[in-house]
Chain A
Amino acid sequence: MSGYHERLTRRGVLQLGGATVAASIAAPLIAQTQNPIRVGVLQPFTGGLEALGQQGARGAELALLNANDSGGINGRMFEIVRSDTATDPKTAVERTNELIRRHEVSAIIGPVTSANRDAMRPTIERAKMPLLYATDYEGGVCSKYITCYSALPDHWVVPLVDHAVKNIGNKFFLVGSDYVWPRQMNAAFANECEKLSASVVGEEYTPWGAKDYTATLRKIQDSGASAVAITIAGADAVTFVKQFVAAGMKDDIRIIFFGFSENYLSGLTESESEGIIAPSNFIASLESPGAQELNRLVRTRFGDDAIVSNTVDAHWTLTRMYIEGIRRAGTDEKDAVLDAMVDQTIRSGNGEVYLRPEDRHVDLNVLIAEVRGGELHVLKDLGRISAANQCA
């Protein structure tokens, strides 16, 4: 009996394996006859940032699938190859190699964190592979192969400090996760404060996955700050805000939250999120035609409760810039597309944006938003902001 079972299982495994091998050989063959343009969507689908990964992927795939629906580009269809960084730099590099060598993609869209992007950079540059990066970051990437649709400190910190000093107060406590983005953002924040004769009364970095912020909250309370500026990444920030509110500190100290988006709203109750101030490039409640269109496209494709955030907008717009690059170049040949896609203006979910040729960064429209009644609303529309040249 047990022998029979074993044999059956082995055969089953063999059959399954055979089928998989056959499928993986067959798939590219079928694909090649139609000669598609293969694009790697490399996002964190597991490992901590899966919420952002899902939205980044949706934004990119929305652009590619819509292009397919309207007959492809230059008569060719896009084929999406999804790949998971697991929010881990080492895995991100392995997956990058796989996308380049095995799947022979024409471009890679992703990843999310600076740590992953920096780890992938040598591999990307060696393969001369276009990387489309669409997450805000600390700035300083200057590479022919990396195109950034990213809010830099110039976009977010400079106008936000100005707004805060005029409307909230002039004493700030900065608290962030312990890695490069928060530290650079806070350096920029302190720098702006100095110009406007406001002061940073405290600066604190917290470890990843922290569950208890009591000690930090105590310091903020004792500092006499008028606002706390958060650059804590991911879910830890939700924990921080929850404990901040539970400690009864929200009445006296305002929350400025870098990187806040519609993503965080479901993790906080309405009373917890009320009054949070955040810079953003896009919010779903915008009434402009561009925003309405993006909302409609996302909901048609991914369902009515799909979150539309600046992550979706950034990946959608940057991917469309890449598609336009292919159309202009008349080919998906990497160097040609890289040259053709820059110096273009395109409508994003929030107004027209411009991809600069000199450093492959985008001039973005910036909003200062506030959470009211569980929804982000525009407090101030700053229009298009051109950051300093990142290659200078």
Chain B
Amino acid sequence: MIRAHALTKRFPGKDGDRVAVDGIDFVVEPGRVTGFLGPNGAGKSTTMRMILGLDAPTSGTVSVNGHRYAAAQAPLREIGALLDAHAIHPGRSARDHLRWMAASNGIPTTRVGEVLDLVGLESVAGQRAGRFSLGMGQRLGIAAAMLGDPPVVVLDEPVNGLDPEGIRWVRTFARQLADEGRTVFVSSHLMSEMSLMADHLIVIGRGRILADCSMGDFMTDHAASYVRVKAPALTEVGRLLQSRDAEVEMVASATGQGSELRVTGLDAPAIGEAVAARGLVLHELTLVRSSLEDAFMALTADSVEFHAGSASLQGSAR
């Protein structure tokens, strides 16, 4: 379990301090994959470095299994981390990299072979890590994280730069670790990736927690949905639905031909029945769910550090 309390990190800068992490509280529970989601520069990596004692918090605390990371006798047995696939000397072989790490925590050398096997790198273990592809580097980083068979695993952007097969492998692996009862904390700036991997979401933007809930709740709360209605007598249908307490908005069709209604507050079957009872004709009745990516964008729109022009996705609806 990872527990952060009022965790804050400020970096001194020329024009005042820059707040990277702004007094955040969260708990990462065992037995599930917790996604740590936020745009680039939101404070994800800084938070992960503070968990591992690499950066000192300006104030607040973060503990792993109930104590400060630096107090751990054999930290690799408590928490395994993939922070950066390049945190490896390119001239050293994969096996030697794992050997020095194992030695530092009194982990038997036999474990090195086991984790190499686990990530499927045994055949290239003698090669210099500098020759590894990005995907192989990530696997080596994950092997290092698993050296101490830790109950807590932290993966910072594990799918960055991976091919589809590698992404699927990481996803399955994280899933499996959580199913075994471990605490799994995975960061990403890709909502689509998180939606496939995580059970629980912690969304961060500009150093603050924007959401901390299950994936399902996140969908319900943030992924807006509406029913699209097309009909020859659109105005009449609209008035009818409004009389049934639905919110109705008439917009130009995305196809550019005619108009459509966007109805919220009344589900598709109810709309269909109401319209049929009045003897009107429908051409389309579709439930439209905005993607998680849209929900994430909407949630973090105000907290993205560098906008690429206006990122408003709702513009077309007006």
Are A and B genuine complex partners? no
Which of A's residues lie within 8 Å of B, judged by CB?
none
Which of B's residues lie within 8 Å of A, judged by CB?
none
